[in-house]
Structure 1
Amino acid sequence: MSVRMPTLVRPMLATSGALPSGPGWAYEFKWDGVRAIAYVADGVRLLSRNDRDVTRAYPELGGLADLLAKRRAVLDGEIVALDGRGRPDFSALQHRMHVRAPSASLVSTTPVRLYLFDLLHLDGRDTTSLPYTERRAALEELDLSGESVDIPPYWTGDAGRDLATAAADLGLEGVVAKELGSRYEPGRRSPAWVKVPLNDTVEVIVGGWKPGTGRREGTIGSLLLGMYDRGDQLTYIGHVGTGFTQAALRDLGERLRPLRRRDAPFASPVPREHARHAVWVDPVLVGDVTFRSWTPDHRLRHPSWKGLRSDREPAEIRLRG
């Protein structure tokens, strides 16, 4: 029976865990980009993970409609920018993901690609209840590879460990394992998908910054970070002072300047050495950091800044455990 094409399908999310093994799993590379659901019917509409319309931000992805040749579909994927070696580069993507209507020059110098890995609706048929293998087969039959669109492969059997090794060698973010018989569960963080990052990455909320010294004088020295706890209180989880490019520091300075406030937004105390010269800001910006581990008191060990995320809301950023 034909059903109306949906206007909103929230992406299925993966749980973090150890790499599963055995015959019941498929393995894909974990791409370092921003999640997007593509709605194709008389054109292309792209929605981010938090349901924002980002179609105008990525005009080169409009060619997906031509590849589908008048078919109607809802597809799940990741928008990535590639470096000179063809690997996803989140730093490069930062130049695009915060620009609502990029110039032709920016699109030319920092192009993006859409890596598609799931099919949720096709020509009046809801495919979310189909097993992973059937959805992937239907996706690949669409033959959507083009200048800015691709369908990356997946592997089964005993390929998990080899794929994780390959991801490390290629400098990729990690591997995602998916149960072969699993259905697509919109909006749910499901154990049927397991993400295995090579480096721990966490989303954080910026609650303040400390002025830099030496070579960083006049700009940001470090960011003061937080997450919401179970009581909806913003908890201080540490500071990050590495991983910034000069362009990132300039952009952060411009974004943080109008957010200044008198008092700290954190409900928990910030250590005196970090609070002493802090500039507090409204906690509305979300970013990514890589880190080594958590301390027993929920502080990040050896964090490094990756970049801001426009596809996440502060209320979503939660301490676990």
Structure 2
Amino acid sequence: MLIAEIARTSGAVAGTSGRKAKVSALAECLRRAGAGQAATVVAYLSGELPQRQIGVGYASLREVPPPAAGPSLTVAEVDAAFSGIGAVSGAGSVARRRELVAALLGRATRDEQDFLIRLLAGELRQGALDGVMAEAIAVAAGVPSAQVRRAFMLRGSLGPVATAALADGADGLRAFTLEVGRPVKPMLAAPAPSIDEAFGKLKAEAAVEWKLDGIRAQVHVSGGEVRVFTRTLDEITSRLPEVTEAVHGLPVREAVFDGELIALRPGGHPHPFQVTAARTATRTAKTADPVPLSVFLFDVLHLDGNDLLDAPGAERNAALARVVPAELRMPRIVTGDPARAKAMFDEAVARGHEGVLVKSLDTPYTAGRRGAGWLKVKPRHTLDLVVLAAEWGHGRRQGLLSNLHLGARDPETGGFVMLGKTFKGLTDELLAWQTKKFRELAVREDGRTVHVRPELVVEIAFDGVQRSPRYPGGIALRFARVLRYRPDKSAAEADTIGTVRAVAPVID
């Protein structure tokens, strides 16, 4: 398959706002690719590389050689070239990678160059997000989209799912099962403005749990082995011996638990989020006495041979309580009384935590999705947004990238809707860090503004949403301020423009 075909499909998908038209174009491209190339094609059309990172920055893409007269580059050739570029290391590696990129682009037509440059720069946003791509795989393979979504949930990647669906149809998808040792995407919670509104949506008795300001963790137990994964499915077992030790003694043969890890002070209040994040981000112990993390498990997906993904929340919690002692479980009550739930909320906030989660007792575990059965309630409005650009600072911030351009995800286009700017809440340490990071992610500079690849997620507190003709979405955040960066979240997990409108009323 030629790269030209993928470039044409990308253009067609970007040129339409209709979901059905996007799905149709993607499905036709996948049919032509077939099972053998499906995984690579899915990655490219999703704006990703199968190799993830190959060490190519914006500087390597500035000087583009003259384009080829006609298309000849195949998907296999480009994939091999990317692997070769990523394998370059040692002295002179930057220059060598630049040479290899130029050689590859020199074989591409103008349209192919544009596609490959945007792919390498992380700017290929045409609306082929996971949901749209999953539906396209279903159409291309002639299988129910629910089967594709479930296989994706269990495998964590759409490429292998597309390969199986196109090769063996529904039988291939049924081969994907929950596998102890292979992480699945976590179930996510939707925001609710208040306890009353959360109970109004669920319309029944519900579980109310503390919401901690920690790191989401999926813990897999098999025999005597314990493995710990982040919400982005990266393994961090070796960094957290206290976590594996806490779980090691549980009376289970095989299990998959969902939970939260957090660094607590002696009195039980949490350390700043950065302390917890530093523990999970450190690959080797650099301090003699690292701050230990406490374990709070709140769900179980598999227990001793039984998959529990489809079981209702009440059944999963009962299974969790049978094998996990109270000191390792998330504090929780079950009630139909909003007043009791508010008391639980007040207690969590008083202890320094974020708020509570209100959970339906009937909902299954919808991995990788923001289900209506889990609702999060916080004492202030917060959003996880993506940094689109930053402006050079003035005065004491001269020489530092300061004023952040903030964007919410737009599921329809695959892009981001700008909601305003902020320079508030940034410490000297954060300013220095983000200036260095933004230079690495830069794709272009426009006067005082440096535009970056939309990869960094930042948690923003704000006082409300107001109408604004200055921004494409017609709304802007009021008094936005930075709380922290979220290295544990990808841009695909950032809040959507729909969430922004739902979480707070728009003020005229």
Calculate the TM-score normalised by the size of structure 2: 0.54
Post-superposition Cα deviations, 1:114-146, rounded to whole Å, max 9, x if no partner, equal: 211011111111123333233223222223567
State the 1:155 CA deviation.
Answer: 0.9
State the 1:189 CA deviation.
Answer: 2.1
C-alpha distance in 2 between matches for 1:239 and 1:215: 19
1:39 is aligned, of 213, 220, 227, to: 220
CA contact (8 A) 2:215 2:277 kept: no
What does residue 248 of structure 2 align with? Answer: 66
2:273 is aligned, of 90, 98, 102, to: 90
CA contact (8 A) 1:44 1:64 kept: no
CA contact (8 A) 2:252 2:303 kept: no
C-alpha distance in 2 between matches for 1:141 and 1:234: 44
What does residue 271 of structure 1 align with? Answer: none
What does residue 269 of structure 1 align with? Answer: none
Alignment of 1:151 with 2:325, yes or no, is no
CA contact (8 A) 1:206 1:223 kept: yes
C-alpha distance in 2 between matches for 1:31 and 1:238: 28
Sort the Cα spacing of 1:16 and 1:4 in 2 relative to 1 into closer, same or farther, 3 A. Answer: closer
Number of equivalenced pairs: 303
State the 1:163 CA deviation.
Answer: 1.3
Sort the Cα spacing of 1:46 and 1:224 in 2 relative to 1 into closer, same or farther, 3 A. Answer: same
2:484 is aligned, of 296, 307, 320, to: 307
C-alpha distance in 2 between matches for 1:34 and 1:309: 10
Q: What are the equivalent positions in structure 2 for 1:35-184 lying under 5 Å apart? A: 35-41=216-222, 42-68=224-250, 71-83=253-265, 85-88=267-270, 89-99=272-282, 101-105=283-287, 108-144=289-325, 150-157=328-335, 158=337, 159-184=340-365
Secondary structure class of the residue paired with 1:262: strand
What does residue 198 of structure 2 align with? Answer: 19
What does residue 124 of structure 2 align with? Answer: none
CA contact (8 A) 1:36 1:48 kept: yes
State the 1:185 CA deviation.
Answer: 2.5
5+ residue gaps, structure 2, are: 1-176, 468-473, 502-508
Structure richer in strand, relative to its length? 1
C-alpha distance in 2 between matches for 1:44 and 1:114: 13
State the 1:97 CA deviation.
Answer: 4.2
C-alpha distance in 2 between matches for 1:13 and 1:262: 34
Post-superposition Cα deviations, 1:76-109, rounded to whole Å, max 9, x if no partner, equal: 011222346423332323433443x041517x34
C-alpha distance in 1 between matches for 2:430 and 2:290: 17
1:10 is aligned, of 185, 199, 207, to: 185
Sort the Cα spacing of 1:102 and 1:110 in 2 relative to 1 into closer, same or farther, 3 A. Answer: farther
Secondary structure class of the residue paired with 1:231: coil
C-alpha distance in 2 between matches for 1:316 and 1:223: 19
C-alpha distance in 2 between matches for 1:208 and 1:224: 5
% identical aligned pairs: 31
Which of these two proteins has the greater Rg computed from alpha carbons?
Answer: 2
C-alpha distance in 2 between matches for 1:176 and 1:228: 23
C-alpha distance in 2 between matches for 1:243 and 1:259: 22
State the 1:65 CA deviation.
Answer: 4.4
Post-superposition Cα deviations, 1:30-81, rounded to whole Å, max 9, x if no partner, equal: 1112222111114222222232223344343221442225621100011222
State the 1:309 CA deviation.
Answer: 1.9
Sort the Cα spacing of 1:207 and 1:178 in 2 relative to 1 into closer, same or farther, 3 A. Answer: same
C-alpha distance in 2 between matches for 1:90 and 1:253: 21
1:277 is aligned, of 430, 448, 460, to: 448
Q: Relative contact order: is structure 1 or structure 2 higher (C-alpha 8 Å, sep ≥ 6)? A: 1
2:211 is aligned, of 30, 38, 45, to: 30
Sort the Cα spacing of 1:94 and 1:224 in 2 relative to 1 into closer, same or farther, 3 A. Answer: farther
CA contact (8 A) 2:252 2:323 kept: no
Alignment of 1:225 with 2:396, yes or no, is no
State the 1:242 CA deviation.
Answer: 2.0
What does residue 252 of structure 1 align with? Answer: 434
C-alpha distance in 1 between matches for 2:392 and 2:267: 35
Sort the Cα spacing of 1:196 and 1:261 in 2 relative to 1 into closer, same or farther, 3 A. Answer: same
Structure richer in helix, relative to its length? 2
C-alpha distance in 2 between matches for 1:240 and 1:97: 28
Q: Which amino acid aligns with 2:199?
A: P
Post-superposition Cα deviations, 1:143-198, rounded to whole Å, max 9, x if no partner, equal: 3567xxx2122112232111122233333211111122333222232222121122
Q: What are the equivalent positions in structure 2 for 1:180-219 lying under 5 Å apart? A: 180-219=361-400
CA contact (8 A) 1:94 1:307 kept: no
CA contact (8 A) 2:263 2:294 kept: yes
Post-superposition Cα deviations, 1:237-287, rounded to whole Å, max 9, x if no partner, equal: 2122122233323322332222223246xxxxxxxxxxx522222222222
C-alpha distance in 2 between matches for 1:215 and 1:96: 31
How much is the aligned-residue C-alpha RMSD, in angstroms? 2.6
CA contact (8 A) 1:78 1:115 kept: yes
Q: Which amino acid aligns with 2:388?
A: G
Sort the Cα spacing of 1:68 and 1:5 in 2 relative to 1 into closer, same or farther, 3 A. Answer: farther
CA contact (8 A) 2:226 2:248 kept: no
Calculate the TM-score normalised by the size of structure 1: 0.83
